[in-house]
Amino acid sequence: MSDDGVLRDVLLRWHAGWVTARDYRSAVGGDAVTVRIGLPERVTETILLSSDPVLYSDAAARLGGPSQWLTAPTADRARTEAAAAAAGFTVHAPEWLMSRPLDDHPAAHAPDGYELWLSGRHPILVAEVVTTGGESHTLAAKGHLALSGDDAADAVADRIFTVPEHRRRGLGAVVMGALTTSARERGARSGLLVASAEGRKLYERLGWRVEAEMAVAHWSGHAAPEEPADPLE
């Protein structure tokens, strides 16, 4: 398979788990997936399945409109940002499509003062780390994972977060270890996710690798001129 074919396959597999994790509807057509998000500020999100800059420019020009989002892998962020701006899209902070085989994913027990709760209903898994010791439990960290693909072989992690005052105590790693262990026990073999900059640091520490940089943009309607206007004209 060509590099673009491999990227397309990974993106399709990630998207399938992501829409499952969030209960979104989606349709694949040509080089794009259209996801019905249904939020006032994010009605539809189009995910491009290639980093071809021409495909990106065409899609941005065609898809601009209120509450439209456009997500695509990029091999040239500056060029993607310029094409997005010319069509009225604003690009967010970089994110990264990442993957990891699950067979040797690290897993750790919750540290003293915390306990781990696992829940969810197939094909969704939910891991929560809560405080112990007081009258009630307080949420400190949480994550979701959806099993998808043939034989539920893919495990797509989503909405992994640690409450700010509980960060850098290993709780994000506990959540990821619990989700991936549970997914593996249910037959999943590969992990996939799209990471924020902070998330990427956690996942790299756990052995995940970057498949592609992603550019996520929303339409703001403020199209930037492609060439700066000449003030003397």
Ligand X SMILES: CC(C)(COP(=O)(O)OP(=O)(O)OC[C@H]1O[C@@H](n2cnc3c(N)ncnc32)[C@H](O)[C@@H]1OP(=O)(O)O)[C@@H](O)C(=O)NCCC(=O)NCCS
Residues that bind ligand X (CB under 6 A): 141, 160-162, 167-173, 195-196, 198-199, 201-202, 205
Q: How many residues does the chain have?
A: 233
Tokens of 142: 């949480």
For the bound state, the minimum distance from the C-beta of residue 24 to ligand X, rounded and expressed in Å, comes to: 17
Return the number of the residue (45 or 219) whose C-beta is nearest ligand X: 45
Return the number of the residue (77 or 201) whose C-beta is nearest ligand X: 201
Residue in this structure with the two tokens 């694949």, named with its chain if needed = 28
Return the number of the residue (17 or 172) whose C-beta is nearest ligand X: 172
Angle, alpha carbons 206-144-157 (nearest 5°): 45
Return the number of the residue (13 or 166) whose C-beta is nearest ligand X: 166
For the bound state, the minimum distance from the C-beta of residue 4 to ligand X, rounded and expressed in Å, comes to: 25
Q: Determine the 3-state secondary structure of 188 from DSSP.
A: coil
For the bound state, the minimum distance from the C-beta of residue 194 to ligand X, rounded and expressed in Å, comes to: 7
For the bound state, the minimum distance from the C-beta of residue 187 to ligand X, rounded and expressed in Å, comes to: 24
Q: Which of 196, 212, 229, 200 is closest to 14 using CA atoms?
A: 212
Task: Give every CB contact of residue 19 below 8 A, 6+ residues apart in sequence.
Answer: 25, 26, 35
Return the number of the residue (178 or 195) whose C-beta is nearest ligand X: 195
For the bound state, the minimum distance from the C-beta of residue 137 to ligand X, rounded and expressed in Å, comes to: 17
| CA-atom Rg of the chain in angstroms | 19
Helix H or strand E encompassing 22:
helix 3-22
Contact 116/129 with Cβ under 8 angstroms?
Answer: yes
Distances (CA, A) of 74 to 1, 4, 71, 103, 166: 19, 12, 9, 29, 33
Return the number of the residue (169 or 189) whose C-beta is nearest ligand X: 169
For the bound state, the minimum distance from the C-beta of residue 230 to ligand X, rounded and expressed in Å, comes to: 43
Amino acid at 95: E
Tokens of 49: 């399945």
